[in-house]
Amino acid sequence: MPQPTCNSPGFSEGLISVSEIDQWIDFLTNVFEWRVLYDGPCGSEIRGMWQLSRDVKARQVLLGEPNAETTQGRIRLIKFENVTQKRARPSAYAWDTGGFFDLHVQVRDLRGLYEKMQGCGWHGFTEPKRLDVSGVTIDEVLVHGPDGMAFALIERISPPFQVVDGYAAVSPAWNAPQMVSDLTSAHQFYSEGLGFKTTIEFEMPPPEDGDTLFGLPLSLGKTTSTELAFFHPGGRRGAIGSVDLLHMVGVQGRDLRASTRPPNLGLMLIRFPVKKLNDYMSAIQNAGVKLFSGPMQVNIEPYGVTTAIGVISPEGALIEFYEDLTP
């Protein structure tokens, strides 16, 4: 059976369910130097996409980097009302699996931004580290903060090339990782089920001193390698809107997939725009992917009326695909 073909440029936005939306707006506008692109209520039809009761209401705020040469990689904040919530990844360590782990952004001054974020209550899993990732030298730090949300801040050292040009301080989100316990089934879901193309696959060896990016105990870090696989719908290496899988060899964390659904707090899902959604939906269903939601007509502001579907990865990551229906 032929694999599906996903004609998407990559994800357009990540949705974060938040407890204090104005605090988040202040953080993203003043620290990330992004701007508000839309602020308003969620349409009632979105409750059907997320299987929520009729009593649930929500405010949504879309933010993006104003100077970026792309409309991808934005962040949509959702503040739910009239519903019980908990964190999607409660009290999570980096090696706990389930849902999306974080969002990757590129930055111009990693250490300066890291200090600002610490002043806003964000914390690193470790201190910033210099890494060689498949021949590219970067400085990187993983930080986590309100609502269990995490970002990977990445400053590219060599070669001096940026995935997204034209940003002031923090790029649009360009990659959404999953920490997985079963790399084989997760790989098959993205490649054979969704038709995404693998762009990079490699194994990161353990550092000699055991001081890993993920904050493993040093004694364990000395013997733990990490397998990585990056995917993009169009197979564009380094392009914005990719996803990647991480598997810590020999490390077993908690399985949090049962709590990684809306309306719980944290990174709920990512959205991919596609063309000919009905054809794509049929193709992925024929490949064995089951729909979590849709197809439904959903008003996604500021884009307008869309048809949307949702699917869930083997380890609980919610992904939506939508087609813009506006003339």
pLDDT digits (tens, 9 = 90+) for 86-134: 999 999 999 999 999 999 999 999 999 999 999 999 999 999 999 887 7
Residues 6 or more apart whose Cβ sits within 8 Å of residue 2 = none
Question: SS3 for 110?
Answer: helix
pLDDT digits (tens, 9 = 90+) for 137-166: 999 999 999 999 999 999 998 887 666 778
Question: SS3 for 83?
Answer: coil
DSSP string, 239-254: -SSEEEEEEETT----
pLDDT digits (tens, 9 = 90+) for 3-49: 899 999 999 999 999 999 999 999 999 999 999 999 999 988 888 89
The per-residue pLDDT for 163 is: 67
| For range 266-288, the mean pLDDT | 97
Map out the domains of the chain as residue ranges.
13-88+257-324, 103-248
Residues 6 or more apart whose Cβ sits within 8 Å of residue 279 = none
217 alpha-carbon distance from chain centroid: 26
Residues 6 or more apart whose Cβ sits within 8 Å of residue 66 = 34, 35, 168
Q: What CATH fold (topology level) applies to the domain 103-248?
A: 2,3-Dihydroxybiphenyl 1,2-Dioxygenase; domain 1 (3.10.180)
Q: Which of 280, 322, 281 is nearest to 305 (CA)?
A: 322
Q: What is the C-alpha separation between 241 and 14, in angstroms, rounded?
A: 10
Q: What is the C-alpha separation between 70 and 176, in angstroms, rounded?
A: 17
| For range 55-69, the mean pLDDT | 93
| For range 68-74, the mean pLDDT | 91
**Superfamily of domain 13-88+257-324, CATH level 4:** 2,3-Dihydroxybiphenyl 1,2-Dioxygenase, domain 1 (3.10.180.10)
The per-residue pLDDT for 169 is: 93
Q: Are the C-beta atoms of 166 and 108 separated by less than 8 Å?
A: no
DSSP string, 249-301: TT----B-GGG-STTSBEEEEEEEE-SSHHHHHHHHHHTTPPEEEEEEEEEET
pLDDT digits (tens, 9 = 90+) for 191-220: 999 999 999 999 989 999 999 999 999 999
The per-residue pLDDT for 82 is: 95
Residue 238 has pLDDT above 90, yes or no: no
